[in-house]
Structure formats: C-alpha cells, structure tokens
Structure 1
C-alpha cells in the first residue's frame, strides 16, 4: 500500500514552515469565528430578556473546543499536514452545515460561512482537495433546497443555492491558483537566498585567504570592512570597521592616496609607506613596529544611486616581494663572493698594471683612446668587486649621536666642490638641534650615493636637489632626499633596491642596495616613497623621494 505524501517533497524548508504558519493562522481565525458565532447564535435577545439558545450554544461551544484542540495539536505536532488540514476543513463544513440547517436554510444567510473553510483549503491544500470541499458544500446546499421542495412543499431560492455553488468553485479555483503561484515565487526566492548565502560564504573564504589586502571605504574615508590580509598589513587589532582614515595618524599616507584618487580617478597604482605607529585611542586599535611599503589600487563600486558611494582599496605588500627577490639574488651572489677576490681581483690588477705600462710607451690618439676604454672598464669592474666584498663586512656601530645640521652642511660643501656645482643647487632644510644614531661614515656614503643619483636627473636649477628632515607619525626623524627630475616609475620602483639592477649603462646595480644595507646595520630604513605633500587641482601627482627613517626619535629643540 502506497503511503500518501502529506507535503510535496519539492518544497523547501522555508516553504514548509510558511505552510505550517498559515495553518496556525487558519486555526486562530476559526477560534475567532467560533466566538462570534457563539455570541450571535447562542444568545437570543427578546422583549422578555436575554436567554440562551441551547442548540446553537452547544454547537458553537463544541466548535470552539475543537478549534482549541486543533490549535494545540498544530503547535506541538508538526506532522501530517494534509491530514490535519482535512480534519479541520471537515469540521468546519460539518459545523456550518448544522448551523445552516438549524437557522432555516438559505434564507438565514449562513451560507456565506462556507467561504472560510473553502478559502483555507484553496490556499493550503492541493487543487483536488479544495475542489472536493467545494463540491461537498455545493451538494449540501442543493440537497437541502431539494429536500424543502419535495418533502416540505416549500419554495426555497434554488437559483441562489446554485449561484453559491458556482461562486464556491470559481473562488476556490482562483485562490488556489494564486496561492500556488505565491508558493512557487517563495520557493524561487528561498532558492535564490540559499544560493546567495552560499556565494557569500565562498566569497568570505576567498577574501579571507587572499594574499592582497582589501578595504571597503566610503567617500568620506570611513572604513566599512576589511579582510585579514589588510588588518595584517596595516597592523590593526581586531575589526577595521568604523574609523576614518584621515583621523588616524598612522593611516595618513593611505588617506592621502585615496583622497587624491577620489579627486581624479585614474587606473595607475599608488605606492605608499605605512610607518611604525601606536594607536589606541578612538575606534582604531593597532600598532606597527616596522614600516611596510604598499602598492594601492582603487576601484569604484557602482551603487547606481541606491546608496552612498563605496570604493574598494586593494593593497599589495611590495616589501615582501622585494625581500624575496633580494634573497634569491643574494643566494647566488654569496657563492660568488667566496672566490671573487682571487678569481677576479688578481687578474684585474694585472690588466690594470699592464695598461699603465702601455700608457707610458704608446702616445698615439688611437692607442690612448683604446687604453682609456680598458682603464675605465677595469675601474668599473674593480668598483663592482669592492661593492660585492663590502656586503660581507660587519659594521661597527657608532653609539655617539650625530648632529644633522653640521653634518649636512659639511656634506653639501663637499658634494658641490667635487661635482663643480653652484651652492644653491643643493638646498638643506633646517634640522635645528636634532640628533640621530647613525655612523657618520656610513651616513656619508649613503647620502653621497643618493645625491649622485639625484644630480644625474635634476635640472640643476636653484634648489633642484633638496635634503630636509621631517617627523613621521611616531615622532621619529626622517631625512628626505628629493630632486625635480622625472621621478622613478612604479615599474622601476619594484626592483629599485635589488642587487645588480640598474637603469644606467655605467652603474653596477649595487649602490642603492648597499645604501639600504648600511641603513639597516644602523637600525634605520631607506626607501623610495611617493608623498602627497598638498592637495592640488587636476590629476593626482605624488612626488617621489628617498626617505631615511632613523631609529631614534627627534630630540627636544628640533623645529621640524
């Protein structure tokens, strides 16, 4: 024997819950109708007073008790949906039929009560069961009218009974089709909601595990959300939502780059450096002990006027990529350094000595030019060997503080004399009484390297090369070296501090790498940064410069 299916198996859990809630509403409505019928039919008001109608009162009380039982059953036992619904509809038809007969038939007007159970069946039951219920109600009305005609010799309104029956069938068919369409729409909405939740879970996993940082920021700079990679890059503790970029000192470079992009959106990336900071006030809780160099890309969210503007900030930790590239090159360079002194330096010395001896005997123009080419290349290779050997030398740190003002003034004088420059080409900013912990010889070598690169691209106009100190968000001294040249492109910036990488035919590719290593040995950092000094109209433009971040904070008396 086949077991009847009480609910369609294709219905989702949400649709089944909706049907059970509708059945509860149907039951509560029955209780209200039972109470109204008890007051309307169970009490007779006459000139002699108020008296109870025993038949109607008993029927209505039974109806009310049964309605309460069905309400309790539907609340505690959510099984056999169609069985419960069929029993309730059968009860409604039986009670209404008894009241209909007792009230005098069609002329009582109680036939309208059949619409309640039939509408419930049309909404909650399959079409066959709903039409069967309509057929029972219609047949009962026609049978009662026929009985009166043949047995009681009366003239009941047969036409009205037929119209009620037709109305029952039409109403049930219309309501059932509308209910079926609504259930189908709810099923579709539930399925789409499930798919959307699954997609959100997948997106959450992808965003959480992606290596790039992602921030969702409003046009006013308020951060709405961010993935774990973004929190790690920026040093956030916990959630990132709720704070404004411009109000956090540590996030100032990111805020400036984002503000510049909002004024003039372009597709090119921006490079910023987030300095060490400690922030525990307001909504931002975080700290960063090491600087991080970030590549920022921005994308606009097309809200289509449905809400406030949103933008997505993609962040890539360029420092990690640079360090990885350097480690790969240093691994191969370490094997070369062990034997380079004997395998390269000795033959190089012999070539240089032989060139000097030939220069004493050969004085023709062609010979002099060839010997000069040999000598220049010997010098270049020798400088490369010296740079490579210097990588393995241990630095002896100097613990004495270095006054920047006197040091920079002396360095400027030496550099201008060596290159035959006018004194106003190099501009030194006011360093006041600030002092840093840095070995003077090492800082001298680092700055000479940076100035040598600057003079190669500067216009040599007054103040075309600038050296000026500044403070970062944590109060540490920074030394900026900037020129008015075209600047370094982001593509070159990605490989700038890699060993043996150079854009000049006369360079060895080790100068900037050695400069950074000397800074690291003195607990300082050297980086090339793009700074947005001040908002300007038109396309966004960040000025690039080399920045040395010293380990020691600025001393009192520094006017920076």
Structure 2
C-alpha cells in the first residue's frame, strides 16, 4: 500500500488523505449518534455489565474520533499506519458495543460496514478481506457463545451477515481501484492538455501566419496576434462576425463559398483593413492608412468536433504582400542595374548631341531652326536629368546622419527656393518649427524637400499660403514634416503607384523624383509617404474633411540645446 500510494501523483495522494479526513468526520458523527441514542432510551440496550459501560464506550469512541481528526489534520505522514490504527479501534469498540447489546439481534452489526468500507477503499484488497474475515469470525464466535450460554441460535444470520461483509468489501475495493485509476488517468490527461494548450498559445502568438477560429455562421471565436495585425484589428476584440465588418467581406465570401464547396480550400483575397467606418476616426494615423491594401492567401480547414455538438473551422491567413514587394524589389534592382549600365553608355552620345546643338544655334538663326533646336535642347536636358537620376540611384551613398537643426534648415531652404523660383513671399507658409534636432543628411534632406516643393509649385494655385510646411509630433513622439498644397490632390488610384520608378502623370516628368526621394529617406532611417489626414474643416454633415499631404517621418529627434 505504501508503494502504491507513493507511485501516485500529488493530486491522487491528496485524494487519499481527503478520504481519510472524511472517514474521521464520519466516525465523529457515528459516535455522537450512539450517544444520542443511549440518552434517549437508556434501557433499550440490555448491557451485560450495566449501562455505564455503554456510555463509557461511546464517550471513549468520541474522544478517539476527535483525536484521529487532529492527528490526520496535522500529521500527513505514515498513511497506512494511521489507517490501520483507526480501523482497529473502530472494530474493537463496535465489537464491544455489539457484545454488550446482545449480538446480531441488536442491529449494531451494521456499524461494521463503516470501517470495513473505509478499509476497502483506502487499503489493499488483502488487508480489507482480512479485516472482514476477522469480523465474520467474531460474529460467528459470538453466536456460538450465545448458544452455549443458553441463548437462541443465531448462527445463520451471523454467517449471512459475515458473507455479506466479505462481498461488500470485494465490490467496494474493486470500484475504488477503478475510480483511483480513472482519477490518475484524468490528472495525467489534464496535465498533458494543460501543457499542450500552453504550447499552442506560444506557437500561435509567435506564428507569422494569421489563425482565425470561426463558427458555422462565420462568427469569430479566437485569433492570434498576426491575424489581428493582418486584418487591422490589433488591440480590438475579435468577437464579431466576418460579414459584419466591411473590410472583411472578401474573406467572409470566400468562407461561405468554401462552406458550400469544401474543394475550394484555398483562395486569394484583397482587403483594405482600415476602411471600417467605426474605426476610421479613432486616430489620425489610423485614418491615414485607409487606402492601404493587403493581399492575403486564405486557407480553410474544418476542425474535427464530431460528437461535441459544435462546428468550428480554422482560417489560415498568409500575407503575400511582402512576397509581392520582395519580387518587385528584385525586379527593380535588376532593372536598376540595367538602366545604370545603359545610362553610362547614353551619357557620352547625349553630351555630343548637346554640344552639336549648341554649335548649330550659333549658325542657324532662322525662326524655324531656332524652334527646332530648342526642342532638341530641351529633350537633351530632360534625358540628361533622367540619366543623372538613374546614376544617383545606382550609387550607394552613405548618409552623414549628424544632428540637424530642423527649424533653421527649413527657413534657409524656403528662402532660397522662393528666390530661385521668383515666388511671392506669402505663397509658401512655413509655420514655426519646433527647436529640435533630427538625424538626417542635410544634402539628402535638401534634395527631398526641394523635390516636394517643386511638385507643390506645379499643382498649387499660387495664392497666399497655397503651399504649407509644418512640423508635428506623432503619437510615438517622432517628428513629422508635412508638405501640403491646395491643389486637386492625389487620387487613391494614383497613390497606389506614386512611389514606383518611372511612374508619372506629367508629360515633363521622369517618374524618378518621388522614388528617389523615398529611397533617400529610407537611407536615412526615415519614411516618406503620401497620407490623408483629417483637418479642422468639416463637411455639411458635420464630418471632418480629409486632405492629402506628403509626410516625412524622421527616425528620431532630440531637443535643441
């Protein structure tokens, strides 16, 4: 028994001790009931040696029961020794009461079930059968003695009761052993399930692919952080239906199609995770991203919940936007190397054409010749500018990211730009910039801002404050330089291709200016983007108007000394 008890886990061993506590509590109750029974009808039990023996036996039994409770509570050691001691005391006192009450006819033999059942539950079968055999032999011996002293014959009832005790012990012991084994198995399975759940949570939280658990009607029950990020729901509760969110309708439709035809297990969808009306105006940064598009590979799988009465499915989300961007970058890199080599070869013939055009200008003075030569010269200059841009892209210029005083830099640059382009002083509105230092190469930042100002001059109305430059601080305490004009703005369709090389909406542009500006920003650990931000102006219905502007987000800033 000791080896058996030590082979169990801590939970099962605790169950044995709790069962012994219950046995002790029951013993106290039985002793109190016997005392109450004796006090109500003291003459009901014909004692052999007087009423005081019965009372003393019951009081002693009650004191022993209380002592056993205290010992078991404060001494959780030597389980088998405590159990055998308690059972031996039970059998001795019950036997004393049994003899004193007149044997089998007194009805006190039923009390033997209490200690023998406890022995069958908490001890090995051999010990339990040994105890039951002692009780059966004792009862038969008491019947023989009763018959020998001239009493009535009670051999048959005593034998039947003894046999019944042996049968009860065997049945209870087998049932207890089965329950203990099941409890041990349940505890082991519970530990395994707990470990598996912990591993599942760890894996799901660190997976780059999104995982969403949905019901039969498309209701979302759970999702990992990657899924929340892909769906634009980071920090929000996922307890909703796929069809209830406009941005997730493509996924909901693909799920319904798969639900109807299980062969359609994979689909490619395009979603705009920041278009839900309830989420657009939470923050300016959130609203500015509402034109972003995510390309997802969606795979559906059904969970085996047969017999559980519920239906669950798992949606695996893989963001293929990064793969597409990587392919695009490889394509652009190959194209860049090709165009750079071509540019080197074009520069010399282009210089020769430009020089020949200059010489012809001195000899040909007819108006038609002058006009044709001017066309040649303008196109030579345009091709030369394109070659310079391509060569600059091919050079891996290392930036000098020393602290730069942004306020002084912008003031000097705007003044120079107004003088060079002959602009009125009130066209460019440079708002007071904070006195902060940013990390950016001055030459690179100059080229980026000049590019943005040239675009603004091209599309602005040339009215007062038609071009605005101002610096703000975002929620992450990073400095942002905004360049905004009052022109028609950029449509979302154009915005999707705005920073692609050689993409332009102007017949005079090369399509490399904004691409080069963004590359220079990335080279300085900054970010250039075209964003839609909410301003103070409002529509007729009270909602705020959004306006587009170029935003340069600097890598870091420190207060100016």
- 1:118 paired with 2:105, answer no
Aligned residue in 1 for 2:160: 163
- SS of 2:456's partner is coil
Structure 1 residues 322 and 558, CA gap change in structure 2 (3 angstroms): farther
Distance 1:515 1:164 in 2: 109
1:256-302 Cα shifts (integer Å, max 9, x gaps): 421453155422313223344699889x9995864351414233334
Question: Is contact 1:235-1:287 (8 Å) kept?
Answer: no
Aligned residue in 2 for 1:65: 63
Distance 1:557 1:517 in 2: 36
**1:320: how far off?**
2.2
Distance 1:25 1:262 in 2: 57
Distance 1:58 1:516 in 2: 110
- SS of 1:217's partner is strand
**1:517: how far off?**
7.7
**1:35: how far off?**
1.6
Question: Is contact 1:41-1:57 (8 Å) kept?
Answer: yes
**1:333: how far off?**
4.9
User: Among 124, 128, 131, which residue is 1:130 paired with?
Assistant: 128
- 1:182 paired with 2:239, answer no
Question: Is contact 2:266-2:297 (8 Å) kept?
Answer: no
Question: Is contact 2:143-2:158 (8 Å) kept?
Answer: yes
User: Among 289, 298, 301, which residue is 2:303 paired with?
Assistant: 301
- 1:233 paired with 2:230, answer yes
Distance 1:275 1:519 in 2: 26
1:432-479 Cα shifts (integer Å, max 9, x gaps): xx96434xxxxxxxxxxxxxxxxxxxxxxxxxxxxxxxxxxxxxx634
Relative contact order (C-alpha < 8 Å, sep 6+): which is higher?
Answer: 1
1:166-191 Cα shifts (integer Å, max 9, x gaps): 11212111211121112112222222
Structure 1 residues 114 and 518, CA gap change in structure 2 (3 angstroms): farther
Aligned residue in 2 for 1:258: 252
Structure 1 residues 247 and 76, CA gap change in structure 2 (3 angstroms): farther
Structure 1 residues 387 and 86, CA gap change in structure 2 (3 angstroms): farther
Distance 2:295 2:493 in 1: 20
Structure 1 residues 7 and 267, CA gap change in structure 2 (3 angstroms): closer
Distance 2:339 2:255 in 1: 46
Aligned residue in 1 for 2:409: none
- SS of 1:295's partner is strand
Aligned residue in 2 for 1:36: 33
- SS of 1:270's partner is strand
Question: Is contact 2:498-2:514 (8 Å) kept?
Answer: no
- SS of 1:399's partner is helix
Q: TM-score, normalised by structure 2?
A: 0.60
Aligned residue in 2 for 1:340: 342
Structure 1 residues 261 and 107, CA gap change in structure 2 (3 angstroms): closer
User: Among 492, 500, 524, which residue is 1:478 paired with?
Assistant: 492
**1:215: how far off?**
1.7
- SS of 2:266's partner is coil
- SS of 1:154's partner is coil
Question: Is contact 1:216-1:311 (8 Å) kept?
Answer: yes
User: Among 73, 78, 81, which residue is 1:80 paired with?
Assistant: 78
Distance 1:518 1:307 in 2: 61
Q: CA RMSD in A?
A: 4.6
Distance 1:23 1:316 in 2: 57
> Aligned pair count?
402
Distance 1:89 1:213 in 2: 61
- SS of 1:78's partner is coil
Question: Is contact 1:295-1:316 (8 Å) kept?
Answer: yes
User: Any gaps of 5 or more consecutive residues in structure 2?
Assistant: 45-49, 353-382, 395-446, 461-485, 519-528, 546-561
Distance 1:81 1:134 in 2: 20
- SS of 2:305's partner is coil
User: Among 407, 432, 456, which residue is 1:399 paired with?
Assistant: 456
- 1:272 paired with 2:265, answer no
**1:109: how far off?**
1.9
- 1:5 paired with 2:2, answer yes
Q: TM-score, normalised by structure 1?
A: 0.60
Alignment of 1:7-26 (within 5 A): 7-26=4-23
Distance 2:231 2:163 in 1: 74
Distance 1:400 1:149 in 2: 127
Distance 2:97 2:342 in 1: 114
Distance 2:530 2:329 in 1: 22
- SS of 1:437's partner is coil
Distance 2:287 2:540 in 1: 25
Structure 1 residues 241 and 323, CA gap change in structure 2 (3 angstroms): same
Which piece of structure 1 moves more, 256-265 or 393-402?
393-402
- 1:551 paired with 2:548, answer no
Distance 1:230 1:294 in 2: 13
**1:28: how far off?**
1.8
1:417-439 Cα shifts (integer Å, max 9, x gaps): xxxxxxxxxxxxxxxxx96434x
Distance 2:276 2:515 in 1: 22
User: Any gaps of 5 or more consecutive residues in structure 1?
Assistant: 351-381, 404-433, 439-476, 482-495, 500-508, 524-547
User: Among 319, 322, 332, which residue is 2:324 paired with?
Assistant: 322
